[in-house]
Each structure stands twice: as structure tokens, then as C-alpha cells.
Amino acid sequence: METFSTLRNNGLKDKVVVIASQRSGKCIPSELTQTFLEEEARVYVTDSKPEILEIVAAEVEEYLGLKLTTYPFDFHEPGAVDAFVQEVRAKEGRIDVLVTEFGLLEFVPHLKPFHLQTPEEWDRQLKIILEDAFIWTRAVVPIMMDQNAGRIIHITSEAARVGTPFMSVYSAAKAAVAGFTRSLAAELGRYNITANCVSLGIQEIEDRNETSEAARAKLEKIRKLIPLRRFSEPEEIAVMVAFLASDLGSYITGQNISVAGGMVMP
């Protein structure tokens, strides 16, 4: 039996990878991009905020010495996601991997009880987290079905599996993405398409320094409840995503894999 020691040479070289992030900060999309580039994949990274992509491109150049073309656009503009996906397909001939990372970083400093959240705030969370996952998945699935292969990986949150005060709508949206992904896995397996989630706890990200005192105090309490007693690093998340996208992850589908230091133990 062949021995596998690294991700390299296990199916990521020259694979066409689309990374779509929104409202999640720069740490995870940047680390995802760098990880896939190191594995010699062909990476298309997009975000609705040009300033995020500028940071991602700058970090890729700093750490890998590579020039990265990024693709900022409004995901909610009708037809924009489909047009982008078709542009990638026309250029590359295929799309092998879709990774989505949709968060709501701007809500972290302003967490509040459910009864004080407005319907507009509900709609915003559901739109950014759940509806965008639908839009991106629908855009790539026909391509993956045609080529009889593909990987779909949505990044979710352990907030979907534990009761988290002030994050009820966010938690519901992330749980919905996990349920959606399980159904996709059952539906698309016959086409050699896997669909999985990577579920995060609390990440070691710079943006935490900009949160309120109350939010920081809450995060510190959460840290003490994590068996490993620390927050995750972006590269720990990126490596799990890359593993699922590689040939080594070809028999894993319909899973919501926790990368959260034991925060949840199902």
C-alpha cells in the first residue's frame, strides 16, 4: 500500500480551487489561499470587500513570493456569482474545489440578546451565511456533475452545536449550512462529489482586539472551557480544509468536522 506523508502529491497539484469569503476577516481566507498555493493548486479567491483581498494578496507575496490576482465583487448582485464561476470554468476548463467562509465579524463587538435583535439583523445574518452558501453551491454543482468529481467545503461554527447566548440567529444559520451540506453529500455522492463542513470554535485572530470589553470577557470564559485551553490558529483550519480537498479526503463526505480544541465532543 502506498504511504502518504504529506498533502503534496495527493491530488491538489493543478486543482482549480475557488475560495469565497465574506465578512470573516482576512486570517482564514489568507491562510486558505497560502495553503492551497503551497500545494500547487490554481487558486481563485474572492471576497465582497476589496480591502480584505488586498491584505490576502500582500500576505501571499510576503510569505510565498507569489503575485496573486484576486476578485472582489458583490455576491448579492444578481447573476454575479454565476458569472464569476463560469469565467473560472472558461479559463480553466473545470472547478475542482469550492470553499466558503461566511462570517459576521462586525457583529462580534455588538452581541445582544435575541429579543433585541431586529428582523433586519436576522435577514442579514441568514443572507450572508445561508443564502450565500446556496448561491455559491448552486453555481458550482452543475460543473462538478459534468466532470464527475468535486469537493464542496463550507466552514461552519461550533456555535451551531452549543447554546451560545446572543448568537441565536448566527447559530441557526450555521446549523442550517451543516444540514444543507449533509443533504448535498447524500445527493451528489453518485457524481463523485464530496460535501463537508469544517466547524470552528474561537480563532486566534487580530480582530478580537477590536471587540468590546464584554465580548472579550466572554471569549476569555470560553477559552477556559476549551480542553486545550487556547484558541485555534488559521493554519490549523486551512490544513483540515486542504486535507478534505485532497485525494486523502476522498472517502469523507457529509461530515461536520470540528477544529475547536475539544470545545464540542459529540
Residue 191 annotated to the active site:
no
For 96, 131, 151, 185, the CA distances from 188, given in Å and listed in that order, are 14, 19, 10, 5
Q: Euclidean distance between the first and final Cα of the chain, in Å?
A: 32
Beta strands per DSSP E along the chain: 16-22, 42-47, 97-102, 150-157, 193-200, 256-259
Which of 44, 63, 71, 170 is the catalytic position? 170
Q: Smallest Cα–Cα separation from 72: which of 96, 41, 43, 49? A: 49
| Look-up of cell digits 491562510 | 31
Q: What whole-number distance in Å separates Cα of residue 263 and Cα of residue 128? A: 25
Q: What is the largest CA-CA distance in the chain?
A: 58
By annotation, the residues acting in catalysis are 170
